[in-house]
């Protein structure tokens, strides 16, 4: 994809940090923006800032752990702007703790559901249409160094980010 102007980007975790930086950059390149986050107030502030720059933007409060919400996001993005050309699976959380004696399995589930399943759901939902429209498309899955090098006391986070890297590398080889 050499020309970004007029194309559509969907970004999860877009209310702040890397996701918001992506939205700003893609907006500056002339892309239509579909921004999503689980935090409605920061997302509304981000949208206001993006709209103030004149960027075309649609926002959605979603929980990436819910496949149906990702599917609704894809349908709404397509309805508003047409084909999606760039998907940034960026929503994520950090969680620490030692692996030995893990007693908070819900925290592990929460971390893996957001960081890994959210990415899987995004890819599963958007990829078939991106292939079908044939206009050129990219998927960016945000990981971290924890996807390559495990740190102590970050078990669930490391597992989730290694999974994102493995999924991304697998998709790269399949495409």
Residues with a catalytic annotation lie at 157
3-state secondary structure of 63: coil
Helices (H) and strands (E) in the chain, counts: 6, 5
Half-sphere exposure of 133 (CA within 13 A, CB side): 16
> What are the φ and ψ backbone dihedral angles of 6, each rounded to 5 degrees?
85, -10
CA separation (Å) from 43 to 13, 17, 49, 67, 144? 9, 11, 10, 20, 23
Q: Which two tokens stand for residue 170?
A: 């697998």
* Residue in the block written with tokens 């740190």: 151
Strand partners, 11: 35, 88
What ranges make up the beta strands (E) of the chain? 8-12, 32-37, 57-61, 86-89, 138-141
């Amino acid at each position: 994809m050499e020309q970004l102007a007029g194309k559509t980007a969907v970004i999860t975790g877009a209310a702040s940090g890397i996701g918001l930086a992506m939205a700003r950059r893609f907006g500056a390149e002339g892309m239509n923006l579909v921004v999503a986050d689980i935090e409605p107030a920061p997302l509304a502030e981000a949208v206001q800032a993006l709209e103030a720059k004149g960027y075309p933007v649609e926002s959605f409060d979603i929980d990436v752990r819910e496949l149906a919400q990702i599917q609704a996001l894809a349908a709404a993005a397509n309805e508003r702007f047409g084909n999606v050309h760039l998907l940034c699976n960026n929503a994520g959380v950090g969680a620490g703790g030692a692996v030995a004696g893990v007693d908070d399995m819900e925290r592990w589930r929460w971390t893996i559901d957001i960081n890994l399943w959210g990415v899987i759901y995004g890819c599963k939902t958007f990829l078939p249409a991106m292939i079908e429209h044939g206009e050129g498309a990219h998927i960016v899955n945000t990981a971290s160094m924890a996807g390559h090098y495990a740190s102590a006391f970050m078990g669930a986070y490391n597992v989730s980010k290694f999974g994102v890297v493995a999924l991304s590398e697998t998709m790269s080889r399949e495409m």
